[in-house]
């Protein structure tokens, strides 16, 4: 086991016994939602994983230790400290470890730590991707590169159209990352079920998701797989409302000159502000939906 890694006893026991485990990220807690809804959501998501037969392992860096499985106190701390916790991507782990610091893990670092721990599947809300205007800024989330090199199945609700979804799919294609639609032929756009872009494969059962992941492992590919799960119809947002909020958030981001790792958290917070909290409710529902699908798929994988 990696010397910097701590696996919580319950998670360790499940992994040793070949039982299903689902990893969960912590940037969504510290940087993706306001306190205290972030903490409430993180705990509900863990419960949803349990209700669907798997053990949750929320991942973060605490005091320079890579943690797979957090206590409720640790989740409360990450949520309350919010943006005061470093948003930790791949490049940040060496410094955080060396300094004994804390970090909230993005999709990238959650995949890295999940894989170190032996966890195969991870549920979140949305992934990072190719930003609009990336042809000049080169702002492409490290999440895409991680999907290309770390063998973890990531279950999400697609990506927000704060990103260029077409370029995001092109990037994933180049790097050989399969993009699967659960019960859909179309890439979901997080708050809405459709984006106008097709996925590579539509899959309608957890058993088939597990079979594809197993085949990918047996091919000895180094990368992972992206499963996109549309938000349940009843919680989806009106496309015109969310599109207007995203355009306005992008405008304010450019006007404020926000760049680099700050841009995604800035855009996420602005969208919530501009939609009067409606988008936060949708966000919570879709994360719960993804946690349930990931847990059911983890059960299939454990068979």
222 labelled catalytic: no
Binding part of the chain for Mn ion, among 34-42, 45-53, 135-143, 225-233 by CB under 5 A, reads 135-143
Q: Which C-beta is closer to Mn ion: that of 6 or that of 139?
A: 139
Q: How far is the CB of 261 from Mn ion (least distance, A)?
A: 6
Instruction: Report how far residue 188's alpha carbon sits from residue 192's, in angstroms, rounded to the nearest whole number.
Output: 6
Q: Which C-beta is closer to ligand PSU: that of 127 or that of 298?
A: 127
160 labelled catalytic: yes
| Out of 6, 92, 139, 164, the residue judged to bind Mn ion by CB under 5 A | 139
Q: Is residue 275 involved in binding ligand PSU (CB under 6 A)?
A: no
Q: Residue with CB nearest Mn ion?
A: 139
Instruction: Report how far residue 14's alpha carbon sits from residue 65's, in angstroms, rounded to the nearest whole number.
Output: 21
Residues 244-273 that bind ligand PSU (CB under 6 A): 261, 264, 268
Q: Is residue 125 involved in binding ligand PSU (CB under 6 A)?
A: yes
Binding part of the chain for Mn ion, among 136-144, 162-170, 179-187, 277-285 by CB under 5 A, reads 136-144
Q: Which C-beta is closer to Mn ion: that of 110 or that of 192?
A: 110
Q: Which C-beta is closer to Mn ion: that of 59 or that of 144?
A: 144
The count of C-alpha atoms lying within 13 angstroms of the C-alpha of 15, restricted to the half-sphere facing its C-beta, is 21
Q: Is residue 279 involved in binding ligand PSU (CB under 6 A)?
A: no
Q: How far is the CB of 186 from Mn ion (least distance, A)?
A: 25
Positions marked active-site: 25, 160
């Amino acid at each position: 086991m990696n010397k910097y890694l701590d696996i919580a006893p319950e998670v360790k026991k499940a992994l040793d016994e070949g039982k299903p485990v689902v990893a969960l990220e912590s940037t969504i807690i510290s940087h993706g939602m306001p306190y205290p809804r972030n903490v409430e959501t993180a705990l509900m998501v863990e419960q949803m994983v349990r209700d669907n037969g798997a053990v949750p392992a929320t991942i973060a860096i605490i005091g320079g230790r890579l943690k797979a499985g957090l206590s409720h106190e640790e989740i409360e701390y990450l949520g309350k400290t919010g943006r005061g916790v470093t948003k930790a991507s791949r490049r940040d782990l060496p410094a955080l470890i060396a300094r004994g610091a804390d970090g909230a893990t993005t999709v990238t670092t959650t995949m890295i730590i999940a894989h170190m721990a032996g966890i195969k599947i991870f549920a979140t809300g949305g992934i990072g991707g190719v930003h609009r205007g990336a042809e000049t800024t080169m702002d492409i989330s490290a999440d895409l590169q991680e999907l290309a090199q770390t063998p973890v199945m990531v279950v999400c609700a697609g990506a927000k159209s704060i990103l260029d979804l077409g370029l995001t799919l092109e990037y994933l294609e180049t790097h050989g990352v399969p993009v699967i639609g659960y019960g859909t032929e179309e890439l979901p756009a997080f708050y809405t079920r459709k984006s106008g872009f097709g996925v590579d494969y539509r899959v309608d059962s957890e058993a088939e998701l597990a079979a594809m992941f197993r085949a990918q492992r047996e091919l000895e590919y180094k990368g992972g797989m992206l499963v996109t799960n549309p938000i349940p119809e009843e919680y989806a947002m009106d496309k015109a409302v969310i599109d207007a909020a995203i355009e306005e958030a992008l405008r304010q981001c450019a006007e404020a000159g926000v760049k680099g790792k700050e841009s995604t958290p800035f855009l996420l917070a602005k969208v919530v502000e501009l939609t009067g909290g409606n988008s936060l409710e949708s966000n919570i529902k879709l994360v719960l939906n993804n946690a349930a699908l990931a847990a059911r798929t983890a059960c299939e994988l454990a068979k």
